[in-house]
Amino acid sequence: SIAKRKLLTDEDVEDVRREIQIMHHLAGHPNVIAIKGAYEDAVAVHLVMELCKGGELFDRIIQRGHYTERQAAELTRVIVGVVETCHSLGVMHRDLKPENFLFVSQDEDSPLKTIDFGLSIFFKPGDKFTDVVGSPYYVAPEVLRKRYGQEADVWSAGVIIYILLSGVPPFWGETEQGIFEQVLHGDLDFTSDPWPSISDEAKDLVRGMLVRDPKKRLTAHEVLCHPWVQVDGVAPDKPLDSAVLSRLKQFRAMNKLKKMALRVIAYCLSEEEIAGLKEMFKM
């Protein structure tokens, strides 16, 4: 439910409308959360969504405790499959991150669903956008430079895949500004563990998704055609280094701690102060 007192401007109202519209537009995709309806009363707008109780993507991987490159390739197929569908329907997600992928149930073969289309936007081929949105580790360099198109989603998906394979993000910093500096200028590390034991095809794919020039970056369709991503493709079925899981656990815990800190801050601030912060960070 979205409290109407939080919808301070016409733009806020339009954002909610657009989110509902986009979810209806993507309805029926097996890996996009289903919207059952949108209702409004005097105090709030209520979105009724499909229930996903299987937990977040990284939590499930950590919980399983065993994990292979082939499983990472299967997850890549799902994540980038959603990106390709969005782009073919003229939608840019703009906030792809692991927290926005949930499993429907605890079952081993549970489908993975993409959630949170709050920052998503309709686009036409060639459109360029300037508003800086997204999440620090996953944001594309061209978004920070305030001129970007749908290629930014492929970058974000590439960051998720880098983390799926290594347990850490490719661009790292102590502060948000530090992360942005790395995103803009940092080198991709394929020499530290566990990269030497990861297949060349996986590295080739991630490299192609994390090209700073959006014109030279792989498209979602090209990613899905890559031999490492294909069903019965070349991704090996051997377990990834156990250090990947422990790193993933640490990265996950750090993010949860940050979220809790933000909640505490939010609890102590007025609606106006929160709205000001949200505007600053375009959350």
**Residues recognised as catalytic:** 95
User: Which SS3 state, helix, strand or coil, does residue 32 take?
Assistant: strand
Are 245 and 62 a contacting pair, CB within 8 Å?
Answer: yes
* CA–CA distance, 173 with 167 (Å, rounded to integer): 15
Residue 214 DSSP class: T
Q: How many CA atoms lie within 13 A of 230 on its CB side?
A: 9
Spatial neighbors of 5 by CB under 8 A, at least 6 apart, are 43, 271
Tokens representing 4 are 């109407």
Spatial neighbors of 86 by CB under 8 A, at least 6 apart, are 26, 92, 93, 120, 153
CB count in 10 Å sphere of residue 233: 14
Residue 101 DSSP class: E
Tokens representing 167 are 């347990």
> What are residue 200's phi and psi, to 5 degrees?
-60, -35
Q: How far is CA 39 from CA 12, 17, 21, 42, 49, in A?
A: 17, 12, 13, 11, 12
Spatial neighbors of 130 by CB under 8 A, at least 6 apart, are 146, 147
Tokens representing 208 are 């192609």
